[in-house]
Amino acid sequence: MDFDFPADAEAFRSELREFLAEELPDWWTNMFANDERVFPFCKSFCQKLAQRGWLTMAWPKEFGGSDADTWTQMVVREEMMAAGEPRGSQYMNLNYIGPTLMMAGSDEQKKEFLGPMARGEAYWCQGFSEPDSGSDLASAKTTAVDDGENFIVNGQKIWTSYATFADHCLLVARTDPDAPRHKGLSLFIVDMNTPGITVRPIDSMGGPVEFNEVFFDNVAVPHNRLLGTLNKGWQLIMASLSLERGAFAGHVRMQSSLRELSAYLSEDEGGAFPQHNIADRAELVKVQTRIRASRLLCYRLISNQAGGELNPIDPAVAKIYATETAIYASEAALKLLGAQGQLLAGDPFAPLGGLAYRNWVHSVPMVVAAGSNEIQRNIIAQHGLGLPR
């Protein structure tokens, strides 16, 4: 066992931090900020990363990557997450949409779509969830019917992040309505400019830009945009979701917030913590211990991956623990901030510029995203403990 990052990964971390310190503007908080400067900034930031070879360094060389080792990849995820994810939505390309294309795409598809991702020019969204298909993804009703020339897509997707500006959608649609549920689904690459697609933003507690509904009305998708084998989409979807879950490095964001919180709480104390209240100090220890465990569960997954012993329940365990710790940590922060904790960003009295509230509002839906924690618990119970379905 070794609980230190390799020296070269740590050296790269320092380099990356210097780069971030230079590039991040004063107004930057995080990718979900309701600020029109966010999108153009993320775009140019990704291109700068790409120029340095840092955007897709985790990818194989043949697809524009540099085969970076697993811990260097972890450094990138951590530093980006700590900085409020200045790559914007492109983290999805790197973590799972690109790798899904590598797994199942045709040569032509890989050539067409991986290149722009590697250059930091591609925007994607994920068309999985539907109004009646959340956790029960295999019940998806959106259809894709082959008319001889194209697949004609009809249906509705929901909770689709980034759909307002995405160029492409990784879409799940039913291609065989008569087959058993899991055996009639396929994945498609859909050009978001195709006629018949309507995107409607959903205003949410997280702000006006986080989620959307996407309507498909007789949308023609060419044959060569089918990803993988017809009607064999399910396994690919599962692999894709597993990559998505395993790539979450929330612990760094939680830890930096905890550090900011403790500095804030100590300002009027002249010490590091509110010394007068042992319960408050103990609360910070409890939060930090959970953050540490969250980090280690993430690292165990990566260690297993690197050792070629990927345990199928690792991503589920890491995802549940990290997302529930994020809620625990933001709850604790709000509690420790007392009455002022209810003040929002923009109010002059809001502690830490509304950081604790922002963390909370973005943490609560995480237990639902990328496969709800209830579904993850089913995975652990069935595949980890051998309990019956």
Partner 1 sequence: MNLLFDDVQKMIQQGANRFATSELVPERIREIEASPDGFSNEVWNAIVDMGWTGIAVPESFGGSARGVADLCIIAEELGAAAAVTPLIVSAGLAASLLQKVPATAVTTALIKDIVDGSIVTAALVEPTGRSERTFPAIPLLEIDGAYSMSGMKILVPYAASAKEILVNVKMADGAMALVAVSTAGEGVVMSRHKSVGGEPLYEVRFDSVKIPVERVIAQGVAAETALDAGLNFATTLKIAEAVGLCEGVVRLTAEYAKIRKQFGTAIGAYQAVAHPCADMRIQADACRLLNFESAWLLDQSRSDGYTVASTKAYVNEVAAKIGNDGLRLHGAIGYSNEYDLQLYMRRIRSACASYGDSGEELERAAAALSERFGSPDYDGFV
Distance CA 245, CA 239 (A): 10
- Which residues face 199 on adjacent strands? 214
As measured in angstroms, the least distance from the Cβ of 92 to partner 1 is: 25
Strands 124-127 and 168-174, bridge-based pairing: parallel
The residues near 78 (Cβ < 8 Å, ≥ 6 apart) are 13, 249, 251, 252
Whether 186 and 171 have beta carbons less than 8 Å apart is answered as: no
As measured in angstroms, the least distance from the Cβ of 223 to partner 1 is: 41
Distance CA 58, CA 36 (A): 30
Q: Hey, is 127 helix, strand or coil?
A: strand
Q: What are phi and psi of 126, to 5 degrees?
A: -110, 115
As measured in angstroms, the least distance from the Cβ of 384 to partner 1 is: 5
Nearer to partner 1, 123 or 299 (CB): 299
As measured in angstroms, the least distance from the Cβ of 385 to partner 1 is: 4
Name the amino acid, one letter, at 225.
R
List interacting residues with partner 1 (CB under 8 A). 1-6, 9, 71, 74, 251, 255, 259, 262-263, 266, 271-273, 275, 278, 281-282, 284-286, 288-293, 295-297, 299-300, 302-304, 306-307, 309, 313, 317, 320-321, 374, 376-378, 380-382, 384-389
Nearer to partner 1, 284 or 329 (CB): 284
Nearer to partner 1, 21 or 385 (CB): 385
As measured in angstroms, the least distance from the Cβ of 283 to partner 1 is: 9
As measured in angstroms, the least distance from the Cβ of 295 to partner 1 is: 6
User: CA of 150: how far to CAs of 112, 220, 355, in Å?
Assistant: 19, 6, 48
Whether 162 and 89 have beta carbons less than 8 Å apart is answered as: yes
Nearer to partner 1, 6 or 341 (CB): 6
Name the amino acid, one letter, at 157.
K
Nearer to partner 1, 4 or 108 (CB): 4
Nearer to partner 1, 117 or 326 (CB): 326
Nearer to partner 1, 339 or 385 (CB): 385
End-to-end CA distance of the chain: 35
Nearer to partner 1, 185 or 316 (CB): 316
Q: What are phi and psi of 252, to 5 degrees?
A: -70, -40
Nearer to partner 1, 10 or 23 (CB): 10
Per-residue H/E/C for 146-205: ECCCEEEEEEEEECCCCCCCCCEEEEEEECCCCCCHHHCEEEEEEECCCCCEEEEEEEEC
As measured in angstroms, the least distance from the Cβ of 135 to partner 1 is: 12
As measured in angstroms, the least distance from the Cβ of 47 to partner 1 is: 28
Residue 236: name the closest of 126, 124, 117 by CA. Answer: 126
CA dihedral 65, 300, 31, 191 (to 10 degrees): 50
As measured in angstroms, the least distance from the Cβ of 129 to partner 1 is: 21
